Structure 1
Amino acid sequence: MKIRVLIADDNSFIREGMRIILNTFEDFEVLATVADGREAVEYCKAHEVDVALLDVRMPNMNGVEATRALAEETKTKPLILTTFDDDEYIVDAVRFGAKGYLLKNNDPERICDAIKSVYHGHNVLQNAVLDKLKSSLGEIRTAPDTPPIDTKLFTERELDVMSRIAKGLSNKEISKELFISEGTVANHITSILNKTALEHRTQIAIYYLTGKVR
């Protein structure tokens, strides 16, 4: 079964170029191409779309707003395809439910792999984008002593883990700091995700630093 894809970009050259590229792969079926976020949302509400490739800067409704609408109103998985100029949108896009955030200058094969990963339930944040995200989070604030969240929802150990995720520590680094196993760290993260309905550690960091889930 082919992965059903929608492409949303206000640049017709990029939009049609991406359609041609994806159609050369047997894994994909490009159902439609649209020029703005509102069209993308309306199409996905009316049709069964697996993955929506969304540009960030679009008229009528930008990619971040479209991501939020798609996450709340459809089963379509949003994948942001953007440029470094749009890095100020990374935090909101991830917080609102983007399953991936990828730069447009990637090779076609890399973009195709990302679509497949998102389709199969994984989250895709390439390293360059992840570095930008960490930088953006650092500018919001450093990990606070009293985070802007309902701390009563979590155990003391879960809060310890969340604070270190917000600092960008890996599971291995967290386990060393807290003197617990990596498996125990992973279990705490699973518990945090279940309590917050978040989907991955990047969203946990944003939640811990801003108090916002969506």
Structure 2
Amino acid sequence: MAIKVLIADDDALIRESLKIILEMTGEIEVSKCVEDGYKAVEGCLNNDIDVAILDVRMPVMNGVEAVKGIVSKTDTRALILTTFDEDEYIYDAIKYGAKGYILKNNPPDTIINAIKTVYNGNTVMEDLILDKIVHGLNSSVNHSIGEILFTERELEVIVAISEGLSNKEIAKKLYISEGTVKNYISNILSKTGLSHRTQIAIYYLKGKF
């Protein structure tokens, strides 16, 4: 079954070009194209949309505010696709629940893979964006990576890992299943680009989260 996508961008050429590229895969169906964030939220409310692809700067309502509306009111996953990598945009988009933040200068294959990654419930951040997050964005934003990236439950799992607890022990402590613990750990690794749980513990203990 094709991934149903909404494209929100105030540039008509980009909307139509992206629609053509995505539908050429045979795996993605572009159900809706809109030119502002307000229509993006409406489109997700009134249509069965799997992934909303949102530019940041749009009239009426920007893409970051649209993420907030879409994530809070629908089951649609939000992916920011933009030319803007300003720290405030990144922070707010992730805070509001965007599952990905990538730039338009990526090749089509990267964008297509990002859509699939987000559709499958994982997070995708390209290196430039992830570097900004890991280094705390700029000093004027002054938010920790933990506050930006992780849910409260994920932070609890990170703390438990840093205490040296096994998955079984974490499950018992947090009253969840071992499978759920593994899912949380996978999400944490995906969000940070780290490879294994030991790195999670090291990063936390060094104050990088």
TM-score using structure 1 length: 0.69
Indicate how the Cα distance of structure 1 residues 39 and 84 shifts in structure 2: closer, same or farther if over 3 A, else same: closer
Is the contact between residue 100 and residue 114 of structure 1 (CA under 8 Å) also seen in structure 2? yes
The residue that corresponds to 1:206 in the other structure is none
Is the contact between residue 56 and residue 86 of structure 1 (CA under 8 Å) also seen in structure 2? no
Q: What letter is aligned with 1:81?
A: L
The residue that corresponds to 1:180 in the other structure is 164
CA drift of 1:135 comes to 3.6
> Take 2:85 and 2:100, find their aligned partners in 1: how far apart are those partners?
17
CA drift of 1:84 comes to 3.9
The residue that corresponds to 1:37 in the other structure is 37
Query: How does 1:17-166 map onto structure 2 within 5 Å?
Result: 17-137=17-137, 139=139, 140-141=141-142, 158=156, 161=158
After superposing on structure 2, the runs of 4+ consecutive aligned residues of structure 1 that deviate more than 4 Å are 199-203
**Structure 2 unaligned spans of 5+:** 181-185, 193-206
CA deviations on 1:96-136 (whole Å, 9 max, x unpaired) are 00011111111111111111111111111111111122344
TM-score using structure 2 length: 0.71
> Take 1:115 and 1:123, find their aligned partners in 2: how far apart are those partners?
10
Is the contact between residue 37 and residue 59 of structure 1 (CA under 8 Å) also seen in structure 2? yes
> Take 1:142 and 1:32, find their aligned partners in 2: how far apart are those partners?
35
Is the contact between residue 87 and residue 137 of structure 2 (CA under 8 Å) also seen in structure 1? no
Identity of aligned residues (%): 44
The residue that corresponds to 2:203 in the other structure is none
> Take 1:90 and 1:200, find their aligned partners in 2: how far apart are those partners?
18
- Alignment root-mean-square deviation, CA: 3.8
Q: What letter is aligned with 1:116?
A: K
Q: Count residues with an aligned counterpart.
A: 177
Is the contact between residue 79 and residue 99 of structure 1 (CA under 8 Å) also seen in structure 2? yes
> Take 1:142 and 1:8, find their aligned partners in 2: how far apart are those partners?
28
Is the contact between residue 37 and residue 65 of structure 2 (CA under 8 Å) also seen in structure 1? yes
After superposing the two structures, state which structure 1 stretch, 103-112 or 124-133, moved more: 124-133
> Take 1:52 and 1:179, find their aligned partners in 2: how far apart are those partners?
38
**Structure 1 unaligned spans of 5+:** 163-173, 204-208, 210-214
Please say if 1:11 is aligned against 2:11: yes
> Take 2:66 and 2:143, find their aligned partners in 1: how far apart are those partners?
29
CA drift of 1:87 comes to 3.8
